[in-house]
């Protein structure tokens, strides 16, 4: 858990080291590093160690299928990693809730639509 906010990820959010992500996804760490390099995942640095928000994974430990698309849309629209994380982890009363949580439910396509609209602006 984060003790304090880091680059858009709020305090109290569960984060995982790259080896922990690899273990949950049943992958080798280099594959997780490749996913970070391809912007399919984002990480924050804490004490010089990269951590991925656990909320990017589904209950079964796999990468949520909408996360890479949301990251790509916003990244292509010129948003920095910190801005993308801030958007995904900030409460939005019109959803309701946080976009990162909505990606796990029936509002996932609405989050994608909004990310696409934000990228165009």
Over residues 82-102, the pLDDT tens digits come to: 999 999 999 998 888 999 999
Comparing CA positions, the residue from 86, 50, 93, 91 lying closest to residue 71 is 86
Q: Chain-wide mean pLDDT for the chain?
A: 94
Q: How confident is the model at residue 121 (pLDDT cuts 50, 70, 90)?
A: low
How far is it, in rounded angstroms, from Cα 39 to Cα 7? 16
Question: pLDDT for 36-87, tens place per residue?
Answer: 999 999 999 999 999 999 999 999 999 999 999 999 999 999 999 999 999 9
24-46 average pLDDT score: 97
**Residue 119 pLDDT > 90, yes or no?**
no
pTM (two decimals): 0.93
How far is it, in rounded angstroms, from Cα 35 to Cα 68? 9
Strands (E), the chain: 15-17, 44-46, 49-53
How far is it, in rounded angstroms, from Cα 86 to Cα 106? 21
pLDDT number for residue 120: 79
Task: Map residue 60 onto helix, strand or coil.
Answer: coil
């Amino acid at each position: 858990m984060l003790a304090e906010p880091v680059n858009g990820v709020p305090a109290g959010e569960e984060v995982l080291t790259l080896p922990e992500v690899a273990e949950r996804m049943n992958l080798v760490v280099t594959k997780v590093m490749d996913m970070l390099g391809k912007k399919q995942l984002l990480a924050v640095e804490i004490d010089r160690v990269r951590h991925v928000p656990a909320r990017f994974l589904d209950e079964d430990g796999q990468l949520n299928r909408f996360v890479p698309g949301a990251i790509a849309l916003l990244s292509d629209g010129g948003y920095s990693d910190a801005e993308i994380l801030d958007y995904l982890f900030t409460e939005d009363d019109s959803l309701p809730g946080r976009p990162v949580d909505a990606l796990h439910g029936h509002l996932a396509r609405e989050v994608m639509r909004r990310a696409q609209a934000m990228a165009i602006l």
